[in-house]
Amino acid sequence: MKTQQTGFTLVELIVVIVILGILAATALPRFINVTSDARIAAVQGFAGGVRSAVGLVQARYFATGSSASTSVTMADNTTVTVTAVTGIPTGAAGGIGDAIAGEGGCTDVAAGTCSGFTAVFGATTTFRPTNGGSATCGVSYNEANGAVTVDTSGCN
C-alpha cells in the first residue's frame, strides 16, 4: 500500500517567496523614513528641554531677588552662570550646559556630551545629534536673548 506524501510544491513555495518579497519592498521605505522622523523628534524634544532649562534658571534667578548676580544655585545645588539683570544662562558650559545638566541632560558638560547630542559652547551654542544628521540638524541657543531655535533640514 502506497502512502500519499503531503507538503508544499515547489511552485507554491516560489509564490510565497515572491509575495514576501513584494511585501518587504513596500514596507522597507517606511522603516527608512522612521529613522529620519526619530532624529527630528529627538532634536525637537531636546530643544524643549533647553527651553525648559532656560525658563527654570530665569525663574530661580528672579525668585532669589538679586538682579546684579551672575550665578544661580538651583534646587539640586547646580550653579548656573547667568547674565546679570536678565537671568538668562550664558552660552558657556557653566551656563546653559550646567542648566541642562541640572535636568539630567548633560552627562559630561566639559566634554559637551548631552543626552545623545554634542555641544559646542559659545555665544551661540549648538547641539548636534551624535547618531547622525548633517551640520544643519540640531538646536541652537543664543545667550543674548535665551532663544532656542531648531533646524531639522539636515536630519536624514
Residue 94 lies in a domain: yes
Residue 144 lies in a domain: yes
Residue 5 lies in a domain: no
pLDDT value, residue 15: 94
pLDDT value, residue 102: 60
Residue 2 lies in a domain: no
pLDDT digits (tens, 9 = 90+) for 16-28: 999 999 988 888 7
Work out how many domains the chain is built from and give that number. Answer: 1
DSSP string spanning 5-59?
Answer: P-S--HHHHHHHHHHHHHHHHHHHHHHHHHHHHHHHHHHHHHHHHHHHHHHHHHH
pLDDT value, residue 148: 97
Residue 103 lies in a domain: yes
Residue 78 lies in a domain: yes
119 and 112 Cβ atoms separated by less than 8 Å = yes
Q: What does each of the 156 residues of the chain score in pLDDT, given as a tens digit?
A: 677 777 888 999 999 999 999 988 888 777 777 888 888 999 999 999 999 999 999 999 999 887 889 999 998 888 999 999 999 999 998 999 989 886 555 777 677 787 788 899 999 999 999 877 778 899 999 999 999 999 999 887
